[in-house]
Amino acid sequence: MTTTTTGPLALPSGTDTGRPNPLGAFARPTAATGWRSWVSTVDHKRIGIMYGASALIFFVIGGIEALLIRLQLAQPDGVLLSADAYNQVYTMHGTTMVFLVVMPIGAAFMNYLIPLQIGARDVAFPRLNALSFWIFLGGGILLNSSWLLGGGADGGWFNYAPNNGVIYSPSRGIDFWNMGLIIAGIASLAGAINLIVTCLNMRAPGMKLFRMPVFTWMGLVTQFLLLFAIPVLTAAQFLLLFDRLFGARFFDVDAGADPLLWEHLFWIFGHPEVYIMVLPAFGVISEIIPVFSRKPLFGYPFMVFSGIAIGFMGWGVWAHHMFASGVGPLSVAAFSISTMFIAVPTGVKIFNWLATMWGGRLKFEAPLLYSVGLVTMFTIGGLSGVTHAVAASDTQQTDTYYIVAHFHYVLFGGALFGFVGGWYFWWPKVFGYKLGDKVGKVNFWILLVGFNLTFGPMHILGLQGMPRRTYTYRDGYGFNLWNFVSTIGAFTIATSFLIFFANILTSRRKAKASNLAMAADPWDARSLEWTIQSPTPAHNFDTSPTVHRLDDFWHRKYQENAEGKVVRIARSEDLVQPGDPTGVHLPSPSYWPLVIAVGLPFVGWGLIFNLWLCLVGGLLIVAGIYGWILEPADAPAAESGHHPDTGPGQPASDQAEAADGDRHDRDEGTESEEAALVD
Amino acid sequence: MSLARRAGLLGPALAVAATLAGCAKDAPQDTLEPEGRFANDLDNLINPIFAVAGVVFVVVLGGALFIALRFRSRNDEHFDDLPAQIHGNNVLEIGWTVVPAIILLAIGVFSVIAIFELNEEPPDDAVNVQVIGQQWWWEYRYDLNGDGTFDEIVTANDLVIPVGEEIDLEITARDVIHSWWAPKLNGKRDAVPNRTHPWKIQADEPGEYVGQCTEYCGLSHAEMRVKVVALERGEFDTWVEEQQTDAETFATDDTSEEAEGYRAFTGLLCNSCHLVEGVNDDQFSDEDLREFQRDVAGGPGTITDDELQASGHAPNLTHLMSRSTFAGAKFDLRRNTPYCRDLGVDWADEVDDVERCLDLGALEAWLRNPPAEKAMQAEPIPGRSPRRGMPNLELTEEQIDQLVAWLITLK
């Protein structure tokens, strides 16, 4: 049995100093409802919901930017956007979608689900988790404030040097880009450390690494990728920051700089970044497909290892973004080969998902539709990716719409389709009602058609020689028809998402009106989050589950009978935890993460406009850190009746036990629960 | 509910469309219709790979469609009757790891061979051209005597080459990263300041081949165009001779319109950025144009002259009228009609042809207000960014007429 006080990763609780807290202002907040409870929450579930909601808002912003692009490009010699306006719009579209939409949606799922799937009550560092979210939000707001403060960034999301310098981009837009992303990067790094420690240290008894669901595994690999990739981007961004604001000359060609330095730094981050974006979605559908096929995931070890392989190999392919950049034939050849081979573990996943469905009993409710959407659309994107890997002919494809087609197929058709499926799948667990399935199916088909109409023709446009990042194109080049079709497709996508948002509103209204409770396990699923009530109780698990095998919950519901046929042996209702929070002590809420996070954008604005704002921001940050350190370990009247949690292996003092950072209840499985376990 | 995978049908539809698109007449940048030896090699390399990808596409998406239809649960009862709970199959796993790896390895071998083959140096006697990108036009400089300096011919916008021969390009840039691309002749190569990248092209037939800058380079990235003009060897040699002559000067007492235009040119800002050999060579040093030191937020160096370009260069105009385009090849100088195209590089030799083929409206509009014609940062931003583009000199209509008259003499 794993506990937090023994073993190599032991985190023993400290003893409380017993100092009374003199300052009322530093008391832990106690609100459990209302907006105050949201801004002070350290609950991983609420943080996950906030990540998701923020991502959807940024998705609307990025989507409007996309529609502006498509309107401008619907016809040759478009006049809707000037060159300058277009350059800002396409830069912000890419930056927003990558950093403020796809990554936070992944974070939403990982934050909400990883503790549940490993049987924990929260992440390792709950206040740090809240800090990550608020810092991310601040970075996103700072980046988008550029629109109101002189114009968006206009150097492309990849922002190559020397164009990203002051001489060639004299507006402040790129400073906002820089600052916003440096700040958002802090959030990702803190989150990475948090989730890695959580996965390694806080698994329930019996939850060995190779019993973790594939979603958690993909999440773990993603966190390691973030841990090593974000610092590279941050380093490049600091060099740029010093060039732009303080007169450094890292990328100044007059001082002898080689602009390829930026390219290398960016893409060493940028390639792992795409796996950061897609691996969580791979994890999502790896949960959905087995449930809707009524079979286990085919090849669990291979799914885990291929994810790890992608994580490792992703570091060795970055210069495939640079085949035309003049790096020389030896480099080009090496990266061409490595890029070929990274298709292998990804292909393994595709085949395993299909094999899971093979021989199953497929129920095409919305989650499965989206999951199969990912499998098929990602395959298309992966195939065009293989054609890019042929470096010589990639010199015809790179920087054209063929590439735009490729990455939208893998990121939108891949990651985003998977995430929408995940929303449909986990919505009942998170909110206590299902999203309407009929509408969900309509939603899916309109999205599929719109998506293919938008990005399918871009393959043709690229091969016909239409470069990317161009604010207009000319008549007489053969680009007219497919650009027009693509614009129609874009508005079809927008329609499908309006339907999705409408579905949320109507489903919620219907659920409130009907007052029916949502079952704990509405899909007859396999992993631990379905063994507790819906919506998830604040304390997650009444008692720490004990895990005996992969898909433990499933095996407590279904067993092979004497004839070798797999039959149901228990109802979900009898196996799920009733949701009794007695005796549970949760990490207490705190305002200080928000305070620190608010300070950071002020530092950003200050560096751009007026250093006095940096002082304001800095004071907020320092005050926040002090508050964080000095606030009491927990709220005076903790939620469910403060109650000495006793049990084997418990420290005597319940004060010490209540120190922030203690997640587990040390209850062992009860007698009856033991009896229910069939090995 | 029918589960016909739209995506499954999309594949063949796309393939048909791509084929049809490839046959489109007005697709001058179509990579699938190469007209040069190296572009041909690339096309031959990628076509079989498209075929392999197509097969995999049909297998995987067809497989997904088949599985979706074949294993659909018929009803709720069927759904609750569990299928065989298969956990995996090691043989299959190894199979679908090794087989794709082998296919990819084979493709990889061809890829590597092609990389090194296309990287082979052109013959020593190949025409040697330095391609220099700057915001937002291309300069072409020829090294004719093999001394390593690209100074015999300096031209812009139209890259004139002999047909059927390998052309040795040395690609670089003066300000930000650009990328030079003429799709029907070869892939693209980035133009990076402080670096020179060798590249080569070869045109199979005489004609004109268009392309674009393909590395985002700021405001007018979309209008930084490439035009390659391939001439028969004899015509090319004649062109080379003509390019190396100086422009005529005009006596101070010459009152013709051309002379007035000449005086307007030499008296206004034009003189400081545009080189016309024989006219204002003294403005530019032997090592090419002036060095600029740029003020970077208080850092070293100061903008020595606010009037001048960030890149320090504007197109050399000495033989403007031998070109078919201007303003970074955004605009036609020579009308794009069959008659005018047939006149080739000598289109401006006859007065009648000039009248017929010069796109006077475009040229006058440019002189009248360049920033309105092409997105540029035509005015410096003090302390941050020097001028990048041609400013509005607020010329009178008379000055414009005079300048045009003089420009026409630059054959």
Name every chain B residue with its beta carbon within 8 A of the beta carbon of A157.
none
Give contacts of A 522-561 with B, CB under 8 A: 558
pLDDT, residue A675, reads 38
pLDDT, residue A653, reads 38
Which of B79, B218, B375 is the closest to A361 by Cβ?
B79
By mean pLDDT, which of A191-195, A330-334, A394-398, B283-287 is the weakest?
Answer: B283-287
For tokens 């034009």, name the residue. Answer: B270
Residue A567, beta-bridge partner list: A559
> In whole angstroms, what is the distance from residue A223 CA to residue A99 CA?
15
Burial, B264: exposed, middle or buried (Cβ in 10 Å; 0-12, 13-18, 19+)?
A: buried
Q: Decide the pairing of beta strands B325-326 and B225-231.
A: unpaired
Task: Identify whether the C-beta of residue A380 lies closer than 8 Å to the C-beta of residue B7.
Answer: yes
Query: In this complex, do A396 and B377 lie within 8 Å of one another by their Cβ atoms?
Result: no
By mean pLDDT, which of A81-90, A659-668, B280-289, B385-394 is the weakest?
Answer: A659-668
> In whole angstroms, what is the distance from residue A553 CA to residue A534 CA?
16
Answer yes or no: is pLDDT of A523 > 70. Answer: yes
Query: In this complex, do A156 and B92 lie within 8 Å of one another by their Cβ atoms?
Result: no
Provide the 10 A C-beta neighbour count for residue A163. 26
Task: Identify whether the C-beta of residue B114 lies closer than 8 Å to the C-beta of residue B44.
Answer: no
pLDDT, residue B272, reads 83
Answer yes or no: is pLDDT of A1 > 90. Answer: no
Task: Identify whether the C-beta of residue A477 lies closer than 8 Å to the C-beta of residue A400.
Answer: no
User: Chain-wide mean pLDDT for chain B?
Assistant: 88
By mean pLDDT, which of A21-25, A75-79, A640-644, B41-45 is the weakest?
Answer: A640-644
Q: Which two tokens stand for residue A320?
A: 């495939």
Q: For B142-166, what is the mean pLDDT?
A: 93
Task: Identify whether the C-beta of residue A252 lies closer than 8 Å to the C-beta of residue A320.
Answer: no
> Which pairs from A567-571 meet CB under 8 Å and 24+ separation?
A567/B82, A569/A678, A570/A676
> In whole angstroms, what is the distance from residue A185 CA to residue A103 CA?
11
- The shortest C-alpha distance from B231 to chain A (Å) reads 23
Burial, A308: exposed, middle or buried (Cβ in 10 Å; 0-12, 13-18, 19+)?
A: middle
> In whole angstroms, what is the distance from residue B268 CA to residue B264 CA?
6
Residue in A214, A205, A342 with CA at minimum distance from that of residue A284: A214
Answer yes or no: is pLDDT of B364 > 80. Answer: yes
Task: Identify whether the C-beta of residue A461 lies closer than 8 Å to the C-beta of residue B21.
Answer: no
Query: In this complex, do A460 and B216 lie within 8 Å of one another by their Cβ atoms?
Result: no
The tens digit of pLDDT for each residue in A339-360 reads 999 999 999 999 999 999 999 9
Burial, A618: exposed, middle or buried (Cβ in 10 Å; 0-12, 13-18, 19+)?
A: middle
Q: Which of B79, B103, B216, B290 to mutate to test the interface with A (most CBs of A within 10 A)?
A: B216
**What letter represents residue A270's amino acid?**
G
Task: Identify whether the C-beta of residue A467 lies closer than 8 Å to the C-beta of residue A400.
Answer: yes
Q: Which of B52, B89, B104, B135 to mutate to test the interface with A (most CBs of A within 10 A)?
A: B104
Q: For B378-388, what is the mean pLDDT?
A: 88
Task: Identify whether the C-beta of residue B362 lies closer than 8 Å to the C-beta of residue B333.
Answer: yes
Provide the 10 A C-beta neighbour count for residue A418. 29
Which of A166, A252, A343 is the closest to B104 by Cβ?
A343
User: Chain-wide mean pLDDT for chain A?
Assistant: 91
> In whole angstroms, what is the distance from residue A230 CA to residue B320 CA?
50
pLDDT, residue A646, reads 37
pLDDT, residue B17, reads 53
Nearest CA in chain A to B2: A364
Nearest CA in chain B to A262: B177
Q: What is the CA radius of gyration of chain B?
A: 28
Residue B198, beta-bridge partner list: B170
Q: What is the CA radius of gyration of chain A?
A: 26
Which of A162, A324, A362 is the closest to B72 by Cβ?
A362
Residue in A660, A678, A426 with CA at minimum distance from that of residue A546: A678
Give A488-519 as a DSSP string: HHHHHHHHHHHHHHHHHHHHHHHHHHH-PPPP
Which of A257, A299, A324 is the closest to B179 by Cβ?
A324
- The shortest C-alpha distance from B185 to chain A (Å) reads 10
End-to-end CA distance of chain B: 71
| Residue A29 pLDDT class (50, 70, 90 cuts) | confident
The tens digit of pLDDT for each residue in A109-131 reads 999 999 999 999 999 999 999 99
Which of A170, A449, A469 is the closest to B6 by Cβ?
A449
Name every chain B residue with its beta carbon within 8 A of the beta carbon of A571.
none
Q: Which two tokens stand for residue A150?
A: 């002189």
- The residues near B40 (Cβ < 8 Å, ≥ 6 apart) are B34, B204
- The shortest C-alpha distance from A259 to chain B (Å) reads 7
Residues A115, A117, A120, A124: is their CA dihedral positive or negative?
Answer: negative
By mean pLDDT, which of A108-112, A584-588, A662-666, B156-160 is the weakest?
Answer: A662-666
Which of A166, A449, A459 is the closest to B297 by Cβ?
A166
Report the topology of domain A43-531+578-585+660-668. Answer: Cytochrome C Oxidase; Chain A (1.20.210)
pLDDT, residue A15, reads 63
By mean pLDDT, which of A16-20, B66-70, B318-322 is the weakest?
Answer: A16-20
**A253 CB within 8 Å of a chain B CB:** yes
> In whole angstroms, what is the distance from residue A579 CA to residue A542 CA?
6
* B327/B24: higher pLDDT: B327
Residue in B292, B140, B132, B214 with CA at minimum distance from that of residue A252: B292
**A29 CB within 8 Å of a chain B CB:** no
- The residues near B71 (Cβ < 8 Å, ≥ 6 apart) are A293, A357, A358, A359, A360, A361, A362
The tens digit of pLDDT for each residue in B15-56 reads 555 555 544 468 999 999 999 999 999 999 999 999 999 999
Secondary structure (3-state) at B213: coil
Phi, psi of B138 (to 5 degrees): -110, 135
Q: For A235-247, what is the mean pLDDT?
A: 96
pLDDT, residue A657, reads 38
Name every chain A residue with its beta carbon within 8 A of the beta carbon of B290.
none
Residue in A89, A19, A31, A24 with CA at minimum distance from that of residue A61: A89
Query: In this complex, do A387 and B46 lie within 8 Å of one another by their Cβ atoms?
Result: yes
Secondary structure (3-state) at A354: helix
Which of B112, B188, B217 is the closest to A324 by Cβ?
B188
By mean pLDDT, which of A571-575, B61-65, B380-384 is the weakest?
Answer: B380-384
Residue in A120, A168, A173 with CA at minimum distance from that of residue B387: A168
Q: Which of B75, B112, B220 to mutate to test the interface with A (most CBs of A within 10 A)?
A: B112
pLDDT, residue A20, reads 54
Chains A & B: contacts with CB separation below 8 Å = 355
> In whole angstroms, what is the distance from residue A562 CA to residue A493 CA?
51
* B81/A242: higher pLDDT: A242
Answer yes or no: is pLDDT of A5 > 60. Answer: no
Q: Which of B30, B121, B134, B190 to mutate to test the interface with A (most CBs of A within 10 A)?
A: B190
Give contacts of A 167-186 with B, CB under 8 A: 167-170
> In whole angstroms, what is the distance from residue A254 CA to residue A650 CA?
66
Query: In this complex, do B86 and A359 lie within 8 Å of one another by their Cβ atoms?
Result: yes
- The shortest C-alpha distance from A189 to chain B (Å) reads 30
Query: In this complex, do B114 and A393 lie within 8 Å of one another by their Cβ atoms?
Result: yes
Q: For B117-129, what is the mean pLDDT?
A: 95
For tokens 């998506």, name the residue. Answer: A451
Asked if residue A345 has a cis previous peptide bond (ω within 30° of 0), the answer is: no
Residue in A504, A497, A503 with CA at minimum distance from that of residue A66: A497
Name every chain A residue with its beta carbon within 8 A of the beta carbon of B216.
87, 155-156, 160, 163, 468-469
pTM: 0.91
> In whole angstroms, what is the distance from residue A657 CA to residue A583 CA?
12
Q: Is A670 left (phi over 0), alpha (psi -120 to 50) or beta?
A: beta
Give contacts of A 582-611 with B, CB under 8 A: none
pLDDT over 90, % of chain A = 85
Alpha-carbon B60 to chain mean position: 38
- The residues near A328 (Cβ < 8 Å, ≥ 6 apart) are none
**A372 CB within 8 Å of a chain B CB:** yes
Q: Which two tokens stand for residue A122?
A: 């929260």
- The shortest C-alpha distance from B108 to chain A (Å) reads 6
- The residues near B96 (Cβ < 8 Å, ≥ 6 apart) are A347, A348, A351
- The shortest C-alpha distance from B154 to chain A (Å) reads 23
Answer yes or no: is pLDDT of B293 > 50. Answer: no
Query: In this complex, do A390 and B49 lie within 8 Å of one another by their Cβ atoms?
Result: yes
Query: In this complex, do B88 and A360 lie within 8 Å of one another by their Cβ atoms?
Result: no
Give A42-110 as a DSSP string: --HHHHHHHHHHHHHHHHHHHHHHHHHHHHHHSSTT--SS-HHHHHHHHHHHHHIIIIIIIHHHHHHHH
Q: Which two tokens stand for residue A364?
A: 């095409």
> In whole angstroms, what is the distance from residue B68 CA to residue A619 CA?
59
Length of chain B: 411
Burial, A1: exposed, middle or buried (Cβ in 10 Å; 0-12, 13-18, 19+)?
A: middle
